[in-house]
Amino acid sequence: VSYLMAAIIGLLVAVAVMQILQRDAIRVVVGLYILWNATNLLIISVASVWGPGAPILEETEGGAMADPLVQAFVLTAIVITFGFAALLVAITSWLSSSGDSIDILDFQEDHDR
């Protein structure tokens, strides 16, 4: 299971990096979102090292259970990244309404005078 998980996370990171390197601003945002999900998967897979059982004492007494702390971390991280993604989409929309392009190559290279 953990090899499969590692392969999936690796694949997601690869896709995310490819998207982030695109010229289109919205693709960059999507790429970041995929990267965030890959990170969350990584943390979850770190947790399942202990065992597959639900972390409830009465139900999995004696059996190996997953680390409950990590579930809380990932929930927090998901909420934060969701908020972040919303902000990024808003900024991208501002970008397209303030200029005429969301192509990164149209950005001014340098604002130095």
Partner 1 sequence: MIDLAHALPVIEVLREHLLILPIMLLLVGAVCAALLPGRAAGILVTVVVGVTLAINFWILQLALDGGPLVYFVGGWAPPQGIVLVADRLSALLALVAMLLALASSIYTLTSQKLLDHTYFHVLFLFLLMSLVGVFFTGDLFNLYVFMEMVILSSVILVAMADRPVSAEVTFKYTILSALGSTALLFGIGLIYGAMGTLNMAEIALHIQEGPVPVLIPFGAAMLLMVFLLKAGVVPFHFWLPDAHSAAPAAVSAMLSGMLVKVGVYGVLRMSTLLFPETPALAVVAWLGAASALFGGLAALANGDLKRLLAYSTIANVGLIMIAISWGGQWGLMAAIAHMVNHALFKGGLFLAGGYLAERYHEHSLRSLTGFASLSPGVAIVFGIGAVALAGLPPTGGFVSKLLLIQAGWLDGGLLLPVAILASGLSIAYSIRLFIKLWWGTRSDWAVALTPHLPRQRLVSVPAALLVTAVLVLGILPSLLTTVAGAAASELLQPEIYIHAVLGGSP
| Nearest-angstrom CA–CA distance, 84 and 89 | 9
Is residue 10 close enough to count as binding partner 1 by CB under 8 A?
Answer: no
- Token pair belonging to 104: 């990164």
Is residue 20 close enough to count as binding partner 1 by CB under 8 A?
Answer: yes
Q: Which is nearer to partner 1, 63 or 99 (CB)?
A: 99
Is residue 94 close enough to count as binding partner 1 by CB under 8 A?
Answer: yes
Q: Of 27-66, which residues contact partner 1 (CB under 8 A)?
A: 28, 32, 35-36, 39, 42-43, 46, 49
Sequence-distant (6+) residues with CB within 8 A of 99 are 106
Helix axes 68-98, 25-47, angle to 10 degrees: 180
Identify the sign of the CA torsion 14, 16, 27, 37: positive
Residues near partner 1 (CB under 8 A): 20, 25, 28, 32, 35-36, 39, 42-43, 46, 49, 67, 70, 73, 76-77, 80, 83-84, 87-88, 91-92, 94-95, 98-99, 107-108, 111-113
